[in-house]
Amino acid sequence: MTDEWDPKIIGFLCNWCSYTGADLAGTSRLQYPHNIRIIKVMCSGRVNPQFVLKSFQEGADGVLVSGCHPGDCHYIEGNYHARRKLTLLKDLMDFMGIDDRRFQVSWVSASEGHKFAEVVTKFTDQVKELGPQDKLRSTTDVEGGGK
Amino acid sequence: MLNRNEPSNEPDPGDEDITEPDTASCPEACDCCTPDPYRSTAYDGGGTEGESIPQYYDDIPLDEDYLVQVPEIAKLDDESPFVESDAKLKAEMKLKTVTRSMDGDVLIVGAGISGMQAALDIADKGYRVILIDKSSTIGGNMVKLDKTFPTNDCSICTSAPKMVEVSRHPNITLMTYAEIVDLQGDAGDFTAHVYRKTRYVDPDKCTGCDDCAEVCPVDVVSPFEERLARRKAIYIEFPQAVPIVYTIDYENCVGCGYCERVCEPEAISFLEKSEDIEVKIGSVIVATGYELFEPLEMRREYGYGKYPNVITAMQFERLLSSFGPTEGKAKRPSDGESPKSIGWIQCVGSRSKQLGFPYCSRVCCMYATKEASIVKEAEPDTDVTIFYMDLRAYGKDFQQYYDKAQDMGVEYIRARPSSVFQNDDDSITVRYMDTHTREVQDKTFDMLVLSTAIMPSSENKKLGDMLGIDVDENGFFKVESVMDEPIETTREGVFLAGCNQGPKDIPDSVAMASGAAAKAMEAIIDRDQVVPAEKPKEKETKGEKPRIGVVVCHCGKNIHGFLDTVEVADYAKSLPYVEYATDVMFACSEDIQNELRKLIDEQDLNRVIVAACSPVTHGGLFQDTLVEGGLNKYLFEFANIRQHCSWVHSHDREVATEKAKDLVRMAVVKSSLLEPLSQEEVGVIPRVMIIGGGLAGMRAALALDKMNIESVIIEKEDALGGQLSRLHSLFPLDVKTSDIIDPLIEEVKSSDKITVKTATTLKELKGFIGNFEAVLETPGGDENLEFGTAILATGFQEIDLNGRYGYGYSDKVMTQTELEEKIKDGSLERPKNVVMINCAGAMEPERPYCCRIGCGVSIKNAKLIKDAHPDSDIYILYRDIRVFGKDEEEYFTDVIENRRVKIIRYAEDNQPTVEIDETDGSVTVNVYDQVYNKEITLPADLLVLTAETEGCVETEDIMEMFKVPSGAGKFFIEAHAKIRPLDFATDGVYFCGSAHFPKNLADTIAQAEGAASRAAIPIMKGKLTLEGITAEVVPELCSGCKLCITACPFSAIDLNEDGIAVVNAALCKGCGLCNATCRPGAIQQKGFNDHQILSVIKGSMNEVY
């Protein structure tokens, strides 16, 4: 099982900096692990802690949130909201029995393709070390919808 | 590594044997700096350490002979049809051209940053722009730069979106590879002839895939790469070129036809003819830019062209650029090694009448500081040294940038090196005399960079003759009046923007371009605006079951080469709600757009997904296609399988294919939940409020008047005139301020479109772009004012010196402004000894910036005193003499040489001290002369302090009311330091003049007219289309807790009388902060609501959802 296990990582990227930074990693032809699935949000401040927990519940082994550097937010202060909220969430991870290293917040600007590739690579390695995340993974569908 | 780009006989994109693409890229690679889908072996300067940058001077001999030979680039030019005699050219044009005609409103010559800005400003107002550039791409010199000072923004990242905007604007006709050859007629009714050279490639068919360049056997030295690399005879200048259409360089093409054979879309046509286009327009803007000084004959002592490791600063920019020949790594041309030490020599070609040009080139100090800082940041161990004369960090945030560079370890040596020689190991030794120690010294560098001056384009004279406009003694275009009309040429209806009338930095060029746009409106203001094309009626899709169409793009080999797009398309077909899925070669091509429109109709699609590149670059294109097909643009979804998949997982085809399927599945989930969003329109009150009745405010009002727009000037003082009315005359042309300000006040007062309210301040403000409501406090009581946009022209003031340098303790101590008031009213008594202390209170931790104007003011006032009282002795104590740009350096030299004004340089950490004798009131200044290394005591009959400046006292109230920011010294902060210098991040509010930063008259006028142009855009549009992605409230769920109101950075949410949150769509920018904050989920971000995002999370994990 562990031999075949391939971590699943969800990345919430803000439209203005990190998503474009990820684009740049592509245009620069940088290579990084394939595990991340990127979900675009307009601002990192849009990321509700619920999204992170839902990701773990759906089977993610790691969650990355990335936005503009503090001070550079396209919406003036959205990333400060993200920072405050998500720091608190990170503190609560242990309480929920999840290793908080499975959850990371990084600031990546539109010109930091290299940084993006680096962040994803390191984070993926870290999640790989931690092994599969089972704590929050739901076995039944909590939403009640058909599987 | 080099093999990968060699022409291949196996074009099969599915070939297993795809070599791994180059992963080495610049550490500072930025958004748009694709280091190369298009780079061919020929100019792959080598990412490997130790490899020389080989092609560098291959066919340019490095011996002395080179100096007398015509350089390679000049040779190319000589053969181009435009340098031939007119008769021959005309004969040839007849033979080879077809003729057509075109109507427009404004013709803009040159599509660099200035030309683009002017084009957008006019096109946004609803008028037709014809924009031409002689190069095959737009972007000009700015795109060559790696980063821009003082924010270190990546240059191409900020210019590329403008380039795309220009090319997609419905009111702009863009013609590249085209030149103006004739201009007849008068303002309002010009007829020009544009010669559009054939590129032998059909722009509608070319997809920019680079297949042609791969097979082209001809290598040509690339002028874009500053001769550091080569390109092919069929080429695009750089990967982000606009338009992305290849051009055959006819002079170098050998006619082998390889390109024609490999071109899949059959875009290459050797029979395509050049065109002679007759253009009818009302005004012309000339934005032809500048050239850089070539230190070959003059300044040959610095060894350029002789020693391989001596390069120009622009060449160094190309080395630093992540899409340049070394992919962003500074490397020695001689051996490709990373230099351990780099030197910069400033003022190469400037500040010297004998060895170049007499003026200061204005940008070199800062670009050298920038280049040195970038090197230092990447390789902290590199020894970087700048040899300078005066460090002119005069602009907004420049001084702080310079301070930071020094903190990082950039060494500044004040010296003008006398000679340079090469050592056996190809290193370069610079011989100089340090002006502080007065010792001749040698310093050796691995590489030497020459900060060459901005100089007038060599074609200016010819172009000027053709356009009927004059050039000045240096070769720049002459402006009608430097102090009055810095944008107008000597021919009515023809205007200037950017560096073709003198050196300028980017924000000054952009501001001037907006100003030129305002000026160009005068002659065409009575014409009809373009009626926007009627959009097809939008299909009603609300409530329908989703019917999704999926288009998977091969992007040539860029996607299909690394993952199986056919498999991805087949997979898409299997997903719920997907009615149709296909894979195509190039989703962005014109025929696929047509195909898509048809598909929407035939398959009755109500959602479309394109799996291709990035929504950032191509989202708008597909959204437009949806609209043309009758669908709401928000029913489009992108799956980024190129930048986020094929390019970053190019080593594993299977993994990349699986990931692409996941990305498509996520897009399908999102798409099935998308809803059409409406974009509301709001009207705009056709009136501009201008705060500040100084020069900037008045010039802005007059520019608006010429565009038939009403304005109201609010002035807190009892009379118009601002700071200027306190001054006597102006640097550097010695114009009396009264000659400028009095006629201006008259003109403002006589205008029936300008209302002036003196002794009036802004008391309250509410509303937003298009619909502001203010309460004004006037002498006659409160008044209400409604307006659509606002210009803040609140100016500056001298700081309170608060007793420093004896200020306030003696009548003999005064500021420069106070001195001018005395000169103006004639109350200045004949002083014997005058001492001026520059930078009083400036460039200190509390106010770390340079005031930009103080040096000029002190020199001008010294001259005034000296002219009135020739036997006075005048001493100016300075830190750096920062007179920059055209005329200023010349003025300074004249005052020092001919008026015998003495200048004494003091050090930052050893400031002059002032003693006031209590008994006789005499004033003495002690200063340590940094150049002669001695303490000097100067008695002063008059001590004039060049005080630091700051934004006006009202700035803080205004900031609060308009929700706009200010920075160091209470000067307002613009939306973007380089490309949006007159806008605030808040829509509908603009600023100009010294409220931005202190500046001289010409720059102030350019900014004021530019701000008028910006403020006129919403008004001339008449209505504003609001963003569709906004927040909406489900009233039943709202508990009225106000958390969303606290979270909203744009004050877009309020509680209604029932205690329920309501969103003002005109203010909402759609960030979603409120959504993330709302506990019951009552406020939802359209297009990114909780349900949509949670579903995508689920969809990202599960095969079936």
Q: What is the DSSP string of B1047-1080?
A: H-TT--EEE-TTS-EEE-TTT-----HHHHH-SS
| Total residues found in chain B within this entry | 1105
At B17 the pLDDT is 36
What is the tens place of the pLDDT at every residue in B980-991? 999 987 789 999
Give yes or no for a contact between A82 and A45, defined as CB atoms under 8 angstroms apart: yes
Give yes or no for a contact between B264 and B585, defined as CB atoms under 8 angstroms apart: yes
What is the tens place of the pLDDT at every residue in B532-589? 888 889 999 988 999 999 999 988 778 998 999 999 999 999 999 999 999 998 787 7
At B304 the pLDDT is 95
At B1056 the pLDDT is 95
pLDDT range class, residue B91, cuts 50, 70, 90: low
Q: What are B599's two structure tokens? A: 């598909």
At A140 the pLDDT is 54
Instruction: In whole angstroms, give the CA distance from residue B322 to residue A29.
Output: 12
Instruction: In whole angstroms, give the CA distance from residue B60 to residue B86.
Output: 30
Q: What are B372's two structure tokens? A: 């040195």
Say which residue the tokens 């005699």 belong to.
Answer: B85
Angle at B922 between CA B918 and CA B925, to 5 degrees: 110
Q: What is the mean pLDDT of residues B698-717?
A: 97
CA distance A99 to chain B (A): 20
At B95 the pLDDT is 59
Instruction: Tell which residue, B643, B32, B320, has the closest CA to residue A117.
Output: B643
Considering only the beta carbons, identify the residue of A20, A46, A111 that sits closest to B1073: A46
Residue B119 identity (one-letter amino acid): A
To the nearest 10°, the Cα dihedral for B653, B656, B657, B659?
A: 160
Q: Look at B644 and A22 and tell me if their CB atoms are within 8 Å.
A: yes
- Higher-pLDDT residue of B933, B264: B933
CA distance A134 to chain B (A): 14
List all residues of chain A from 106 to 145 with a beta carbon under 8 Å from chain B. Answer: 110-114, 117, 143
Helices B695-706 and B1001-1021: angle between axes, nearest 10 degrees: 40
Task: Tell me the CA distances in angstroms from A122 to A64, B402, B477, B618, one per residue in order.
Answer: 11, 35, 55, 30
- Buried-state track B774-794, b at ≥16 Cβ within 10 A, e below 16: bebbbeeeeeebebbbbbbbb
Residues of A in contact with B652 (CB under 8 A): 34
Angle at B156 between CA B155 and CA B157, to 5 degrees: 90
List own/partner pairs for B981-986 with CB under 8 A and 24 or more apart: B981/B507, B981/B508, B981/B510, B981/B511, B981/B1007, B981/B1010, B982/B510, B982/B511, B982/B514, B982/B1007, B982/B1010, B982/B1011, B982/B1014, B983/B1014, B985/A76, B986/B769, B986/B962
Q: Look at A78 and B1049 and tell me if their CB atoms are within 8 Å.
A: yes
At A145 the pLDDT is 39
Q: Look at B1069 and A31 and tell me if their CB atoms are within 8 Å.
A: no
Interchain contact A55–B (C-beta under 8 A): yes
Residues of B in contact with A117 (CB under 8 A): 648
Considering only the beta carbons, identify the residue of B1073, B1093, B1105 that sits closest to A39: B1093
What is the tens place of the pLDDT at every residue in B167-210? 889 999 999 999 999 999 999 999 999 999 999 999 888 877 77
Sheet strands (E) in B567-696: 578-584, 607-612, 636-640, 681-683, 687-691
Residues 6+ apart with CB under 8 A from A119: A64, A66, A104, A106, A108
CA distance B146 to chain A (A): 12
- Higher-pLDDT residue of B954, B1078: B1078
At A139 the pLDDT is 64
Q: How large is the ipTM?
A: 0.95
Give yes or no for a contact between B853 and B901, defined as CB atoms under 8 angstroms apart: no
Interchain contact A8–B (C-beta under 8 A): yes
Residue of chain B whose Cα is closest to the Cα of A17: B31
pTM across the whole model: 0.82
Percent pLDDT > 70 in chain B is 91
Helices B113-123 and B1001-1021: angle between axes, nearest 10 degrees: 40
In chain B the first and final C-alpha atoms are separated, in Å, by: 44
In chain A the first and final C-alpha atoms are separated, in Å, by: 23
The mean-pLDDT minimum among A115-119, B48-52, B550-554, B946-950 falls in B48-52
List all residues of chain A from 58 to 87 with a beta carbon under 8 Å from chain B. Answer: 58-60, 74-78, 81, 85
Q: What is the mean pLDDT of residues B1046-1075?
A: 92
Size of interface A-B (CB pairs under 8 A): 173
Supply the Cα-derived Rg of chain B in whole angstroms.
Answer: 31
Instruction: In whole angstroms, give the CA distance from residue B473 to residue B470.
Output: 10
Task: Tell me the CA distances in angstroms from B7 to B248, B250, B720, one per residue in order.
Answer: 18, 22, 70
Give yes or no for a contact between B940 and B917, defined as CB atoms under 8 angstroms apart: no
Q: Look at B1097 and A20 and tell me if their CB atoms are within 8 Å.
A: no
Among A12, A20, A29, the strongest candidate for a mutation testing the B interface, having the largest count of B CBs within 10 A, is A29
What is the tens place of the pLDDT at every residue in B854-911? 999 999 999 999 999 999 999 999 999 999 877 888 899 999 999 989 999 999 899 9
Among A13, A27, A142, the strongest candidate for a mutation testing the B interface, having the largest count of B CBs within 10 A, is A27
What is the tens place of the pLDDT at every residue in A59-68? 999 999 999 8
Angle at B1015 between CA B1009 and CA B1018, to 5 degrees: 145
Would you say residue B65 has pLDDT above 80?
no
Q: Look at B642 and A26 and tell me if their CB atoms are within 8 Å.
A: yes
* pLDDT mean across residues, chain B: 88
Would you say residue B20 has pLDDT above 90?
no
* Per-residue model confidence as pLDDT tens for chain A (147 residues): 445 799 999 999 999 889 988 988 887 789 999 999 999 999 999 999 999 999 999 999 999 999 988 877 888 889 999 999 999 999 999 998 999 999 999 999 877 788 999 999 999 999 999 999 988 887 654 444 333
Q: Look at A77 and B1049 and tell me if their CB atoms are within 8 Å.
A: yes
Residues 6+ apart with CB under 8 A from B660: B559, B563, B565, B568, B611, B639, B641, B645, B646
At A109 the pLDDT is 82
Residues of B in contact with A19 (CB under 8 A): 616
What is the tens place of the pLDDT at every residue in B221-243? 999 999 999 999 999 998 778 88
At B61 the pLDDT is 35
Residue of chain A whose Cα is closest to the Cα of B1103: A147
Residue A5 identity (one-letter amino acid): W
Residues of B in contact with A74 (CB under 8 A): 1071
Centroid of chain to Cα B397: 16
